[in-house]
Amino acid sequence: MSKPTYIHAIILGAFCLGFGVMLAATDMVTAEPIAQRALEDKQNALGKVIPAAIHDNNPVQDTLVVKTHEGKDRTIYRATRGGKVTGIAYQIEGSGYAGEIRLMLAVDAEGKVLGVRALAHKETPGLGDKIEVAKTDWITRFTGLSLGNPVVDKWKVKKDGGQFDQFSGATITPRGVVKAIREGLEFFAENKTQLLETH
């Protein structure tokens, strides 16, 4: 190796080492704030669907993982009072006009909806975004409902013969949300024993 090449190799090596150290240091400095922000986001989402009055624990810290029919891991957040499970929440997904809609669904120990909130979506502003509680109260109308109320066949939008309103000019979004909530309730019914089991 010639001397100029040798010097270039040393400089390049030193640069790579310095860059690697800088990345590692940045990761160490930002990892905790990022994790803290993620925890706050989860607590915020859960606080909107699980009433504070029904638990004396922190549902973010009382979790279990259950497999869905598709073989995916689903994280369950459990609300307890006096050591008894009073409600659970978990993320569900639906298909909207513009892609996947992520929602947080909470149910009580009997399978009644405690609350539903949209976590993320790309639906059209002014149409599909009416699933957001900041836009309309549509998503809050599921509170208190269950698989038997209404009967399973009515867990559809009115256009499909169901009970739930669709949006003017946007049927696909509410259709996807209703289906996701119904499937979320079916998941609860199928796994109720495991979900409510105390350790």
Q: Which residues on adjacent β-strands are paired with residue 170?
A: 167
In a domain, 19, yes or no: no
Q: Categorise residue 106: left if φ over 0, alpha if ψ from -120 to 50, beta otherwise.
A: beta
Question: What is the extent of the structural domain holding 91?
Answer: 49-196
Name the CA radius of gyration of the chain, rounded: 23
Asked whether residue 28 is domain-assigned, the answer is: no
CA distance 74 to 103: 13
Is residue 42 in a domain? no
Report the Cα 59 to chain-centroid distance in Å. Answer: 14
Look at residue 37 and tell me if it is in a domain: no
Distance CA 56, CA 34 (A): 26
Q: Is residue 110 packed enough to be buried (19+ CB in 10 Å), middle (13-18) or exposed (0-12)?
A: exposed
24 belongs to a structural domain: no
Q: Per the domain annotation, does 39 fall within a domain?
A: no
DSSP state letter for 112: -
Rounded Cα distance between 5 and 113, Å, is 69
Count structural domains, the chain: 1
Q: What is the pLDDT of residue 125?
A: 86
Between CA 181 and CA 179 the distance in angstroms is: 6
Residue with tokens 């940045």: 26
Question: Cα–Cα distance between 113 and 150 in angstroms, integer?
Answer: 12
Question: What is the block-wise mean pLDDT of the chain (199 residues), using blocks of 10 residues?
Answer: 68 74 67 58 84 94 91 95 96 93 96 95 87 94 96 95 90 95 96 88
**From the centroid of its chain, how far is CA 135?**
19
Q: Tell whether 44 is covered by a domain.
A: no
Q: Among candidates 162, 164, 120, 159, which has minimal Cα distance to 140?
A: 164
Q: Are strands 113-120 and 84-96 parallel, antiparallel or unpaired?
A: unpaired
Structural domain includes residue 41: no
Our measurement of the distance from residue 117's CA atom to the centroid of its chain's CA atoms, rounded to an integer in Å, reads 9
